[in-house]
Structure 1
Amino acid sequence: MTSLTGIALDDWLSQNHSLIYRGHKVRYWCAGVGEPLLLIHGFPSGSWDWHYLWQSLAERYRVIAVDMLGFGFSDKPPRYAYSLLDQADLLQTVLQQLGVGDYHVLAHDYGDSVAQELLAREQSTPYCRLRSVCFLNGGLFPETHHPVRMQKLLMSPLGFLLGRLYRRENLAQAFGKIFGPATKPSEQELDGFWRMLAYNQGPRVMHRLIHYIAERRVQRDRWLAAMQCNRVPMRVIDGAVDPVSGAHMVARYRELIAEPDTVLLEGIGHYPQVEAPEQVLAHYLAFRQACTPAAIDEPVKKPA
């Protein structure tokens, strides 16, 4: 599927660090030197999603990835009030503890929404300045998000029961529908996705995490205003055939964002960093090369 050398999940785990956030253990990863780059994972997986890109990015930047609460190998408290805003608090806490000032973001799926919240806070967070944002497939606009059957069931009154019954075969079936036709996940990749989800009884909190879909609707106008009025360079790199947030989401982005910077990856689905990491890397590096200090300081035109 890819010529980039990924990282085996056990090797990935051996490199983790941890901190305590609101009484819960959170795992995170750091590598490289240079400008800090925060990688924000999606639902329902974790930071290992970035393993194909990790080494190449670490050769250029100080990369940081966090398994947010309820995800991956961090704690998954069963009664926690999970929210996108709280996850943004968590990431800012990690950055602050690592002594990060200016930073960049590369986000995917659920992580896109957390990145939107960080963007909305950008002007009010003096100790930590966001310098660029690159979004991979995600529900940037609620009106374009097409939830899969699993997500719809999790949002239903029986969502808690689905979590208790959720198995690896359910994950494989769901991922088979959202990946591109020629870039389906391998059994090894599915094993890794499942280990991230199943760790610490992850399926039991999926019905709580899924509230992010409703939270997106609440925050939609605030986040859109931040995207339209901010001075932070943005790019979307999107798998075009993703049924959840593919080409149709990019079309809406182009309607709402002035001078939109978008890249469509033909034949690629919802996980471009796994399905086509070489393409994502090339397009991301080109984006960063264009993000010179002069470009960052130049105000972005507001849409009419």
Structure 2
Amino acid sequence: MRTAVGIPLDEWVARGSELEYRGQRVRYWSAGNGEPLLLIHGFPSGSWDWHYLWNELAACYRVIAVDMIGFGFSAKPRHYEYSLLDQADLLQAVLDHLDVGGYHILAHDYGDSVAQELLARDRSGPRKLGSVCFLNGGLFPETHHPVLMQKLLMSPLGFLIGRLYGRARMAQTFGNIFGPQTQPDETELDAFWRMIEFNQGRAVMHLLIRYIAERKVQRERWLQAMQHSHVPLRLIDGAVDPVSGKHMAERYRELIPAADVVLLESIGHYPQVEAPEQVLAHYLVFRHLPVKAECAAGPATAAV
């Protein structure tokens, strides 16, 4: 049973700050001390996905999260060339804005692909990455099983499907990808929906979904970066996720040398929401920190 205390969505939004990127307003969050840790969210939600882990991680690290273009509480322009590469540019711009040098990554879903791009870039220098930890995501296109809604968004009628997308359909989809014993409650579903519909987000879902095709284009480059990684990698994976669960973790073990994989039994696609305590414990072990000890960085500072 989950015991972590989260951050209500309204409070989360109020803690954020804004900057401009390519003429668009982007919302970001930063808190804590220590080594910078970039948290990268997935599709179709936003950085609030990390709220159960935020305060705990901020006690150990300088945590940074960004609602990427088209997501959460950032701008969602209807005439914009959405791409995973551009999202990586955005995150690098935020890190530069915050005067971050070296950093680590904890990513989920869509964010895994952005993390793969950042890893590939870092490999060719200048090297700033210290480690990458992936949660459930389509690391390999051949093992990604998109849900029906994603398939419809990729169709010629995707623009219409997005506009007709409602909270009830979202709740059904999330129910299918969460673990059977860790289903989202109504408060969480309300928060997920607010992130999706903010700034008329339904109108750009068919544009964002192009990332699935983009993954195929970048597959070999990203795979090479992972197979020859110059930094530690770990995969923490919810095993019963139908999208990128145990089957994806098995493929990870096949492709990545000395693969570091942690399978969370009975957990679905959103481990950081369904089982934040387990994710935190396995992440701190990955970073060689005692799970229950006080972090050397000291208490977290207020978000900026």
Q: TM-score range by the shorter chain?
A: over 0.9
Q: 1-side partners of 2:96 and 2:55: how far apart?
A: 24
Task: For 2:258 and 2:232, locate their aligned partners in 1 and report how far apart those are by CA, in whole Å.
Answer: 11
In structure 1, what is the equivalent of residue 178 of structure 2? 179
| Contact 2:123–2:225 (8 Å) recurs in 1 | no
Tell me how far 1:92 sits from its aligned partner: 0.3
For 1:187 and 1:19, the matched residues in 2 are separated by 31
Q: Which has the higher contact order (CA 8 A, sep 6+)?
A: 2
**CA deviations over 1:114-135 (Å, ceiling 9, x no partner):** 0000000003342x60110000
Structure 2 counterpart of 1:301: none
Q: For residue 12 of structure 2, what is the aligned residue in structure 1?
A: 12
The residue that corresponds to 1:233 in the other structure is 232
Alignment of 1:53-64 (within 5 A): 53-64=53-64
Equivalent position of 1:258 in the other structure? 257
Q: Which whole-Å CA distance do the structure 1 matches of 2:133 and 2:30 have between them?
A: 19
Alignment of structure 1 residues 262-277 onto 2, 5 Å: 262-277=261-276
Structure 1 runs of 4+ with >4 Å offset: none
Residue equivalent to 1:247 = 246
Give the CA deviation at 1:167. Answer: 0.7
The aligned residue for residue 215 of structure 1 is: 214
| Residue identity matched to 2:244 | S
1:293 match: none
2-side partners of 1:131 and 1:219: how far apart? 22
With the length of structure 2 as denominator, give the TM-score of the two structures: 0.94
Corresponding residue SS for 1:289? coil
For residues 278-289 of structure 1, the aligned pairs below 5 Å read: 278-289=277-288
Distance 1:125 1:264 in 2: 32
Q: What letter is aligned with 2:260?
A: D
Between stretches 3-12 and 117-126, larger displacement belongs to 117-126
DSSP 3-state at the match of 1:143? helix
1:71 aligns with 2:71: yes
Equivalent-residue separation in structure 1 for 2:20 and 2:124 (angstroms): 25
2:123 and 2:230 in contact (8 A); partners too:
no
CA contact (8 A) 2:50 2:273 kept: yes
TM-score, normalised by the number of residues in structure 1 = 0.94
Q: Residues 28-47 of structure 1: matches in 2 within 5 Å? A: 28-47=28-47
2:157 corresponds to 1:158: yes
User: Hey, what's the Cα distance between the residues in 1 that align with 2:123 and 2:167?
Assistant: 42
2: distance between equivalents of 1:123 and 1:171? 37
Percent identity of equivalent pairs: 73
